[in-house]
Structure 1
Amino acid sequence: MGDWISIVLLIGVGLILIYLELIFVPGTTVLGVVGLILSGIGIYIAYEKHGATTGSMVLAGTALISIIALVYSFRQKSWSRFSLKTENKSKFNEGYSLGLSIEMRGTAISDLKPIGKAEFGDKTYEVASHGEHIGAGSEVKISKIAGNKIIVDLITN
């Protein structure tokens, strides 16, 4: 009787760990591997203690229970509770360069090597030079705006 309790517990806990792996922690991780090992040990004990016929029946029963549980969970759509249903359609920095125009003048707040920060009006923007170094505090003007990328030139007096 003690053998059957250990067999059922090993296989049951193993299957539960495998299903937890599938539902909560997708991928091949420790939880699924431990569940597979526990189920395998339970089946091995059934073969070892009760013979090939009983071991084969335990193996077939374990496989059948696994298949039934997976089919049932897919049919009941129980997995959809854990799936992401929303879609992010927003854009990062949308309207970032609104209010800026070509030839607009500003001040480099940080060194542009070739990327840094510059202030136009009362707002600070990330800008890029054409590859040259522009020191902090230098006067710059916008030479190109492409989407959210702002290209500046050094103003030389």
Structure 2
Amino acid sequence: MSVLQRYTRSLVIAHMASTLFMVGMIWTIHYVHYPLFAHVGESTYIAFQSEHVNRIGKLLLLPWLIEGITLLGVLILAFLGNRRDLRLPAFLNGVGMAIALVISGVWSAPAHGDLADGFDAAIHDRLMTANLVRTLAWTLSGVCAVWILARVWSSEIRNSRITAES
């Protein structure tokens, strides 16, 4: 196996692992955590919201950074390197990540800022709606990350068969 093949394999495994971690987290946040915001008592909500933002940021920073860096690597392989077969899944993965980033910056972070002053049902509803779109976008990214890995592995299997037959 060449150095490029090992690099490609390591890159797409790291990308898939970080992306699927983020997909699992966003579904947990959307289905479990955000709905519970409405059930936190008024007297403790501000402290709860502050702790949520602080803790979730620390938890997600590294995997989100790894996901972004590895996606850049996959996009480089697909569009500037020799892996043209990765172009469609890498592009769609990039679209999913771009949607998640825009929603995080334009809707989610400001909503958390507004909720820092206390629970507001209308703001919470907007957060839930925006987060559903973000969750679906991240799910698209997860599907694409698996697709990318499947393409890389299938080409490695194909190449090893060709080499064995030679």
Regarding TM over 0.5, the answer is: no
TM class, shorter-chain normalised?
under 0.3
- Larger strand proportion of the pair: 1
- Larger helix proportion of the pair: 2
* Max Rg structure: 1
